Amino acid sequence: MVTELAAVTSVAISLVALGVSLIVQREQRRYQDFELARSLHHDVSTGEVAQARHLLGTLVRSSEPIDGTAKREALQAYFTLLWCFERIYVGHQTMGPGRPQRFLAEAVRWHVLEWDREIGAAKRKLEDQPGEIDDVHSREGLRKLGESLR
């Protein structure tokens, strides 16, 4: 009888420990997802990417032609922005559905939708001939992210 009681108690303690560890793991994952969302929003809204957005936004709205050093800088900004959206897309996909993913979507939605609409104009300004810039794979992250946030 004592042996059976000890076995039942042992199983009960193990099940409680399992339940607690699953709760802790879920909360840790959620915390990491929120940190990732904050990091990705910071990436698109500050530093090198913010400068790239400003440079390309100015290019898109300008009627002046671009060449030389300015064109090289704008081309670098173009890919900086596309690669940022690719990182955001990957991060968005690695998060499970829930509050962190919704938080990220709300934080970056207008950036994504604006550039999903404007990136073609920026590319046309940078190209001397249509198809000159090979960005098929780089633009895919922005396209998919735009679709998922609409």
Q: Is residue 25 part of a domain?
A: no
Residue 18 pLDDT > 90: no
**pTM above 0.95?**
no
Q: Is residue 13 part of a domain?
A: no
Q: Is residue 21 part of a domain?
A: no
Q: How far is CA 39 from the centre of its chain?
A: 9
Q: Is residue 6 part of a domain?
A: no
If DSSP states are collapsed to H, E and C, what string results for 4-66? HHHHHHHHHHHHHHHHHHHHHHHHHHHHHHHHHHHHHHHHHHCHHHHHHHHHHHHHHHCCCCC
Q: Is residue 140 part of a domain?
A: yes
| Cα separation, 136 vs 108, whole angstroms | 22
List pLDDT tens digits, range 42-92: 999 999 999 999 999 999 998 888 888 999 999 999 999 999 999 999 999
List pLDDT tens digits, range 95-115: 988 899 999 999 999 999 999
Residue type, 41: H
Q: Is residue 74 part of a domain?
A: yes
Number of domains in the chain: 1
Q: What range defines the domain where residue 142 resides?
A: 31-149
